[in-house]
Copies of this chain bind each other. A is one copy, B any other.
Amino acid sequence: MSFTVTILGCASAKPTIDRHPSGQVVNIHEQHYLVDAGEGTQQQLIRFGINPLKIREVFLSHLHGDHCFGIFPLLSTLGLYGRRTPLRIHAPAPFGELLAVHLKYFDTALPYPVEWVETDTTKHRLLLENRTIEVWSIPLRHRVPCAGFLFREKEPPLNVDKFKIAKYGLSIAEITAAKRGEAVVREDGETIPNAELTYRPYAPRSYAYLSDTNFSARAATLCRGVDLLYHEATYAAAEQRSARDRGHATTLDAARAALKAEAKRLVIGHYSSRYKSVEPLVAEARSLFAESYPAREGEIFTIEKQR
């Protein structure tokens, strides 16, 4: 029952030798979701051992090139690989127009359907729901319409305690009823409360991706209790002015967001190319929020199950 985040890239707009622009794969129970796709995303997927065909759905935060240039080559390659499964792309307007142009000029005959679902970046909305997860949009504060994403694992199915099965001699039907959350009514009329028989194997886990954005108390509040928070930290604390003007965040902004969100862990990224080393940036974030970590290409952050 995996819940991992693989960093494909965490540079900001100016390219550097060893940093690719934004892109991540969120893997929940072997469902793979692509979050942002800067240039080179498809190659980063291959480099880090993720079969691009496994991507189920795509979430693009905003339409700056360093977050979406890589989606178009990826669409072509998925066609070359013979994908048949539909691909849905969540993105703000006017992504649909960009997609239409791409399909018109490059991929008139893709073997799989591509669908754009418009994100209203001003609202907190449910974008995707299935048996395992929910994905919500998180309005952000950037120079262009931008929404982050909150991935929330659903409550896992209840487990029936083995010892209680033995103790009460539960039948298959009774076990099934207990798994459904019901109390068990025995043949002799006795009722066993569900809580006596079952337990939640682990607490649902969650991950939030907040990039690109100024500090936003609203966004942080909407991610309350998140296990892992990725927050852009384009600038060091000394560049508060630049951050504010450019719709970005500093290390301390990211840490404040993590505090506000009562996150368990913070990952910072989207570093400006001016910083050759990320260690000082992480140190700044840690001065406010101890559990701060730097995103690095290829790194996999795992959210472990907690009982």
Q: Hey, what's the 0/1 contact readout for A81-104 against B, CB within 8 Å counting as 1?
A: 100000000000010011001000
Partner of A101, one of B76, B80, B98: B98
Task: Kindly identify which residue among B72, B80, B97, B101 contacts A14, using a CB–CB cutoff of 8 Å.
Answer: B80
- Mask, A18-57, CB within 8 Å of B = 1, is 0010000000000000000001101100110000000000
Instruction: Output the least CB separation between A66 and chain B (Å).
Output: 8
A-B contact pairs, 10 of them (CB 8 A): A13-B76, A13-B80, A15-B43, A15-B46, A15-B77, A16-B46, A17-B43, A39-B43, A63-B106, A66-B73
Chain B: minimal CB distance from A246 (Å):
12
Q: Are B105 and A98 in contact (CB under 8 A)?
A: yes
Q: Is the CB of A105 within 8 A of B63?
A: yes
Q: How many residues of A contact B (CB 8 A)?
A: 30
Query: Nearest-CB distance from A272 to chain B (Å)?
Result: 11
Q: In the docked arrangement, what's the CA distance between A4 and B98, Å?
A: 37
Interface centre among A64, A73, A94 (most CB of B within 10 A): A73
A80 to B21, CA, bound (A): 15
Find out whether the CB atom of A17 lies under 8 angstroms from the CB atom of B80.
no
* Cross-interface CB contact of A106 among B17, B42, B65, B105, cutoff 8 Å: B65
A199 at the B interface (CB under 8 A): no
A65 near B69: Cβ-Cβ < 8 Å: no
With the chains together, A42 CA to B39 CA distance in Å?
9
- Count chain B CB atoms within 10 A of each CB in A65, A81, A98 and give the residue with the most: A65
Per the bound structure, the CA–CA distance linking A70 and B73 in Å amounts to 9
Least Cβ–Cβ distance between A242 and chain B, in angstroms: 14
Measured CA separation A70–B65 after assembly (Å) = 11
Residues of B within 8 A of A20 (CB): 43
The answer to whether B39 and A17 touch across the interface, beta carbons within 8 angstroms, is no
CB distance from A8 to the nearest CB of B (A): 13
Residue contact A94 to B98, C-beta cutoff 8 Å = no
Shortest beta-carbon distance from A196 to chain B in Å: 54
A15 → chain B closest CB, angstroms: 5
B-side contacts of A42, CB under 8 Å:
15, 39
Chain A to chain B: the 6 pairs with minimum beta-carbon distance, closest first: A39-B73, A69-B73, A40-B40, A65-B76, A101-B101, A15-B43
Which residues in B have their C-beta under 8 angstroms from that of A65? 72-73, 76, 106
Q: Which of A96-129 contact B (CB under 8 A)?
A: 97-98, 101, 105-106
Tell me the smallest distance from the CB of A198 to a CB of chain B, in Å: 46
Out of B43, B46, B81, which one reaches A40, CB within 8 Å?
B43
Of chain B, the residue at the smallest CB distance from A16 is: B46
Inside 8 A of A106's CB, which chain B residues have their CB? 63-65
Q: How far is the CB of A5 from chain B (nearest CB, A)?
A: 21
A80: B residues at CB distance < 8 A: 13-14
* Residues in B whose Cβ lies below 8 Å from that of A63: 105-106
Q: How far is the CA of A106 from the CA of B143 in the complex (A)?
A: 13
